[in-house]
Amino acid sequence: MTRFFKIIATLEGVSLLALLFIAMPLKYIWEMPEAVRIVGMAHGLLFVGYILLAIMLKVEQDWPWKKFLIICAASVVPFGTFYIENKYFKAKAE
């Protein structure tokens, strides 16, 4: 499930960046609100999936509350999910 969470975290992070740096300028600068509807819906679904998977992993792996809250908070910060993936889920080199 961790691998799936990492994939969703990456997609959620990319969708947030696309929403903030592509869709929002298209809406407010070039008056094209369709982009926000499409990217916003995708981001919303990925956000919900990210939070649900974080809850499932917290229970499954018995994460401390601090780690869980940091991981959840990172989903609303640009580039936050990439930082979390690197800090908490980086593959250990053997």
Return the domain boundaries, the chain. 2-88
Check residue 93 and give its pLDDT: 41
Tokens of 40: 């916003």
d(CA 5, CA 81): 11
85: left (phi over 0), alpha (psi -120 to 50) or beta: alpha
Check residue 55 and give its pLDDT: 97
Whether the Cβ atoms of residue 88 and residue 67 lie closer than 8 Å to each other: yes
Q: Going residue by residue through the chain (94 aa), what tens digit of pLDDT does each one get?
A: 899 999 999 999 999 999 999 999 999 999 999 999 999 999 999 999 999 999 999 999 999 999 999 999 999 999 999 999 888 888 644 3
Check residue 90 and give its pLDDT: 80
31: left (phi over 0), alpha (psi -120 to 50) or beta: left
- Tell me the longest C-alpha to C-alpha distance in the chain: 52
